[in-house]
Structure 1
Amino acid sequence: MTLSFDEARLRDEMVRTGAGFRALGLAPGTSGNLSVRLEDGWLMTPTNAGLGDLEPERISKLDWDGNLLSGDPPTKESVLHRAFYENRPGTGAVVHLHAPHAVALSCLDGLDTESCIPPITPYFVMRVGRLPLLPYFRPGDPAMGAAVARVAKERASVLLANHGPVVSGPTLSAARAAMEELEETARIALLLHGRPIRVLGEDEIQPLRETFGAVW
């Protein structure tokens, strides 16, 4: 298989990113999946592949009709990724993990479905933005994609109830940074759970919009 320079580079970046998530303890077993956009389709991590064990040549390549062009069969959760590519302009990569603190947060009752983490740090506001909580779906259910599609135009990230986070970004490095920020903020939110919390007010969020382009 002859690859373009960009495709070969992105395959290698996916391998490094997956290994990084594994090293951080955010991708246990064969959980989680990554994807990136290409000019002629998209790359997707294969089904039952651990993110710490990816091989560049086995990463799935799909066209925009969902046909497998090369590599192993893709993850059954590709519907989550496709929903962002098709509904959020500028999406260049998508990351879905079973990161432990974000998953723990997704199991709590009574979360605000508009943003299940409030604006507790400026970095969460800047790098993640509002985090809608979507209902629970069985893994691989096509309805997951439809649920993401309904909010993807307005929101770059979502949290699936009793499942985990899905984050989009213009590049894989940007999506990775946002995912790591989300997981750290979920950890902080759990530490604060049940306590009075001071959140950022509108007068503190507006400068983040003006200075850093935050979307909140």
Structure 2
Amino acid sequence: MTMKFATQKLLTLMVLSASLGSTLSACAPVIMGGAVMGSLMATDRRTTGTQIEDEGIELHASARISENLGDRVHVSVTSYNRQVLLTGEVPNAQDKQLVEQVVSRVENVRAIVNELAVLGHSTLTQRSSDALVTGKVKAALIDAKDLYANAFKVVTERGTTYLMGRVTQREANRATDIARSTGGVQKVVRVLEIISEEELKNLLPKPAPVETKK
């Protein structure tokens, strides 16, 4: 958790905000037709505002953890729909609780899943391996034609893969099976919000009206 990392996150948030604004203004006619907005909602089921809030939560939480605990902890903060997943390592149980308390005071956080382990810091080799596993799981989700891969956020820490997102029970079960069968995944933890098939149907893009020749 360094200030360099926090600055990079801030730049990411600024770029995201700018790109979202330009996309919405440039593509207004398409959005009015329903195609682009429907596609965005189907792949990332958060509102645009919530996506920006999640970026802000990750940025501010990481910065505050660094300010309060410094380099003695290694914490990754992942926010989806304002639910925060904490992964990484801390030296003791007191620091584990302190991290959670610090994050709970960040604006817009509505829930915290504290998966921090009381262990020494993971090595660069371990983190590289986790990043590779995350990439393999994402690729496998993309290959699954019956899933919207971008409806999921994937995080891997010490061989445990976490799945986040707003999905139906069918999608949750399917994604879990895919993750479990991916090489390098030792365990799957679901941090998912389950929605009904009817709710999913309402999120899917509506078919464009067919023009009939007169």
Structure showing greater Rg: 2
> Is the pair's TM-score, using the shorter chain for normalization, greater than 0.5?
no
Question: TM-score with structure 1 length normalisation?
Answer: 0.30
- Normalising by structure 2, what TM-score? 0.30
**Structure with the larger strand share:** 2
